[in-house]
Amino acid sequence: MEFLTSGAVEVSGVFGYCVIMPGNALLRLHESAPFSRVVPWRRRGLCLVLSSPSGGGKTTITRRLLRYDSSLRLSVSATTRPRRGDEEEGRDYYFLSLAEFEERRASGWFVETAEVFGNFYGTPRAPVEAALREGASMVFDIDWQGAEQLVRELGGDVVTVFLLPPDLGSLRERLKLRAQDGADVMEARLGGALREVGHWVDYDYVLVNHDLDEATAYVQSIFLAERLRRERQSGAADVIDEKLHP
């Protein structure tokens, strides 16, 4: 554990946490192991939902969270949208036909589903239930409709974070940079992005993504603080009582 005084946010070291402290000092925590030393008992996992308009940086931040914390799991969604160039089945999405999607939805295979830009998306239920049962945490890159349904289904196990773009002009730029979908789809996505932003008021945490390193560090700090909440430390009472009254 060490304090850095630099104003820049340094997110270094695999599995490291980087938490911004008042006065721009940074408390850097390395490895997942020290976390289990700080909380050395059974814990309840949590579902960390990241939403932002497309191009808001949440995919990059999600990847970084996973890289820095080996215990965090990614929720891989299913979608009916066509696969984009570099996307892989099972890593980025499960790509389903509309009929397959409908069948799974009818059988309760999803914990939440939503229609986004004319395509269907859904979060498979089983990995979420397994993670919570095993005390592991999961990160979700889903939209406001999914966030709302997850909160309804899983209540206090869900923590929601909304990432706002620094300004809507830059959102347009970021969407252009992607430009994988053609001009009309991009316009539709921009309209959808503006509607998505309107839902920021329903989230637990809201931050502006001026800089990816900085935003990642803030999301990590939210995740860390939420994991330390007393009510998630389900095994604490037994261990502490045992020590106090052997």
Q: How far is the CB of 77 from ligand 5GP (least distance, A)?
A: 3
- Interaction residues for ligand 5GP, span 10-39 (CB under 6 A): none
- Interaction residues for ligand 5GP, span 118-137 (CB under 6 A): 121-123
DSSP class of 242: H
Largest CA distance in the chain: 69
The stretch among 9-17, 101-109, 116-124, 215-223 that binds ligand 5GP (CB under 6 A) is: 116-124
- Token pair belonging to 46: 């949590």
Number of residues that bind ligand 5GP (CB under 6 A): 14
116 in contact with ligand 5GP (CB under 6 A): yes
In one-letter notation, the amino acid at residue 196 is E
- Residue 52 or 233: which CB sits closer to ligand 5GP? 52
* CA–CA separation, 144 and 163 (whole Å): 11
* CA–CA separation, 27 and 25 (whole Å): 7
Q: How far is the CB of 88 from ligand 5GP (least distance, A)?
A: 13
Rounded to 5°, the CA angle 189-96-106 comes to: 100
Contact 216, 65 (CB under 8 A): yes
Q: How far is the CB of 6 from ligand 5GP (least distance, A)?
A: 32
Out of 43, 54, 128, 216, point to the residue binding ligand 5GP (CB under 6 A).
54
User: Tokens 């008992």 appear where?
Assistant: 41
Out of 67, 81, 105, 172, point to the residue binding ligand 5GP (CB under 6 A).
81
Residues in the chain: 246
Q: Where do contacts with ligand 5GP occur on this chain (CB under 6 A)? A: 54, 77, 81, 112, 114, 116, 121-123, 141-143, 145-146
